[in-house]
Structures are given as C-alpha cells and as structure tokens.
Amino acid sequence: MTERRVRVDGLDVRYLEEGDGSAVLLLHGASLGSSADVWTRNMLPLAAHGLRVIAPDLPGFGGSDNPADHSLAYRRRFVLALMDVLELERAALVGHSQAGRIALELALHETPRIAKVVVLCTGSLLPPLEEASAAEGEEGTAAEPTIAEARALLEYNLYNKALITEADVALRQRMSTGKNFQAFLARKENKGGAGKGGEPLWQRVAQCPVPLLMLYGEHDRAQAARRVAKAKEMYPQLDVRLLPRAAHLAQWDAAEAFVAIAGPFLQP
C-alpha cells in the first residue's frame, strides 16, 4: 500500500493506493478521527480482485487540508475533482457511513462517471421505523479527545473490540486533534448539503442507475438489522445484506466477509 499526496481544488490531499485495474474509491465516514486509514485492513484483499483501490482523506480529515466549505455538498464535488486530478473518467465508489450518501447522490446525478456503488453502514439510506431512528452522524467529543476518549469512540463502533490495537487508538486520537478537530467543529455548525426538504434519499435508493450493493453490520446502531429487513420488504429488487458479528465499522469487524462480497461485485 502506497501513501501519496496530490493537489485537488487548491488543497493538499493525502490518499492511499493499492493494486491495478478498474478504479475504486473508498470513502470514509464523517465522525471525528475518520480517515483513509479505516480501509487499511481491506485495501490489499480488494486489490487482489484486480482493482485499483484508492482511499483519500476527505477535506478536513486525516492528512488532507481543511476546506473553506465544510458541507457534504462540497465533499461530493471533491470526489469528482479528485477523479479529474487522477485522470479517472469513471470509478466505482464505496461509501462508509455518511459517505454512502455521497456515493449514492453521485450515482444519481453524475451517472456517466460512476460505475458501481457499495453503501456500507449508511443509516440514512434505510427506511425509518415507526419509532425514531438515528442516522449516521458526526460523532465526537466536546474538546479534543484524550486517548481514553478516542478508544471509547472506536469501541462504540465495533462489535469485536479485541480488534482495537494501541496503534489504532493512537492514530485515531492523532487524526482527531488540531486542524481536524477544528474541521469537526465547523462541520457540526454547517447546515449546508444536508438534503433538507424534498423526497428523503432513502426513498430514491431503488432508483440508483448503476449496480448497487448495500451492506450493514448485523449489530449496527439505530436498529439497522430491523431496518434492513424493512428495506427488503419495500424494495425486493435491492441487494441489501447484513454482515454477521459486525457493528458500524463493519469493514473491520467483518473484513473477510466484506471483501468476499464487495470484491467480486466491484470487478468490471
């Protein structure tokens, strides 16, 4: 796995890359401390399916610069700008948590550029239950997190907490401080790009014009398993699956199952 840097829309951007073949962008979620590093367990196994796997730190995360615009809409535009810089006419997208919205919206509105979409643990793309269900959000702390708080945030998102190493915690804490914490605060205050009004995005999932695979942790929050069952009832044509013994960071909890399903799907 190679770490690279590139200029995109005036920002210095860090990304990880592995393999050759059809391009796949792995997009991390929006919680404090998120970065391309959430995919390091998956990149080599996915590349073994004949794929060029690229995992960027989105603007305001990881080792990438903070943008002036902290909206979800800007992050959508950034994905296309990154593809332009990398000279990718077309790519498949894998979006974890909030980035699943980015992937689906790009498929709906920029269809010629998106080959396939994998949605991973994006709560807002599942139908709600009669009782309120929380969607994926900007998890974080009121101040820059301590090591103990960074560990607690990781544990909250994992079913198998034994997967967490001291190095994982140290990295997550480092990715949660300084300019990244300032970006987190800015995102919390930003109300743009949230898709207010109109038809909820979960009602448009079945209209996705490119091949779509939706994966959720069996033990993910906001009663994801029940909502997956409801999605299957409402839209039987969708390929929506549960990953066993997995919570919100399903690409860690169920790394082998995730690659076994997503790898063949992403092949051209």
- What is the SS3 string spanning the chain? CEEEEEEECCEEEEEEEECCCEEEEEECCCCCCCCHHHHCCCHHHHHCCCEEEEEECCCCCCCCCCCCCCCHHHHHHHHHHHHHHCCCCCEEEEEECCHHHHHHHHHHHCHHHEEEEEEECCHHHCCCCCCCCCCCCCCCCCCCCCHHHHHHHHHHCCCCHHHCCHHHHHHHHHCCCCHHHHHHHHHHHCCCCCCCCCCCHHHHHHHCCCCEEEEEECCCCCCHHHHHHHHHHHCCCCCEEEECCCCCCHHHHCHHHHHHHHHHHHCC
Q: What is the mean pLDDT of the chain?
A: 94
Position 27 scores a pLDDT of: 98
Does 205 score more than 60 pLDDT? Answer: yes
Domain count for the chain: 1
Mean pLDDT for 83-107 is 98
Mean pLDDT for 25-41 is 97
Position 13 scores a pLDDT of: 98
Domain that holds residue 186: 2-266
117, 161 Cβ separation under 8 angstroms: no
Q: Which amino acid is at 22?
A: S
Mean pLDDT for 89-98 is 98
- If one counts every other C-beta atom within 10 angstroms of the C-beta of residue 81, the result is 17
- Burial zone of 236 (CB within 10 Å; 0-12 exposed, 13-18 middle, 19+ buried): exposed
Angle of helix 147-156 relative to helix 166-174, nearest 10 degrees?
A: 110
Position 133 scores a pLDDT of: 52
Does 32 score more than 50 pLDDT? Answer: yes
Mean pLDDT for 9-13 is 98
> Residue for token digits 């390929």?
239
Mean pLDDT for 8-31 is 98
Position 96 scores a pLDDT of: 98
Over pLDDT 90: what percentage of the chain?
91
* Structure tokens that stand for 112 in this block: 């010629």
Predicted TM-score (pTM) above 0.75: yes
Non-local (6+) Cβ contacts of 229 within 8 A are none
Q: Which residues pair with 69 in a beta bridge?
A: none
Among residues 189, 203, 195, 210, the alpha carbon closest in space to that of 265 is found at 210
Position 150 scores a pLDDT of: 96
pLDDT tens digits, residue range 130-183?
Answer: 865 545 556 888 899 999 999 999 999 999 999 999 999 999 999 999 999 999
Does 6 score more than 50 pLDDT? Answer: yes
Over pLDDT 70: what percentage of the chain?
94
Q: Return the ∠ at Cα 120 (arms to 115 and 126), rounded to 5°.
A: 100
Does 193 score more than 60 pLDDT? Answer: no
Q: How far is CA 195 from CA 72, 105, 226, in A?
A: 9, 10, 24
* Structure tokens that stand for 220 in this block: 């993910």
- Burial zone of 143 (CB within 10 Å; 0-12 exposed, 13-18 middle, 19+ buried): exposed
Among residues 33, 156, 157, 46, the alpha carbon closest in space to that of 94 is found at 46
Position 192 scores a pLDDT of: 46
Q: 102: pLDDT confidence band, cut at 50, 70 and 90?
A: very high
pLDDT tens digits, residue range 43-92?
Answer: 999 999 999 999 999 999 999 999 999 999 999 999 999 999 999 999 99
Alpha-carbon span 116 to 203, nearest angstrom:
19
User: Looking at residue 45, which CATH number applies to its domain?
Assistant: 3.40.50.1820
Does 220 score more than 50 pLDDT? Answer: yes
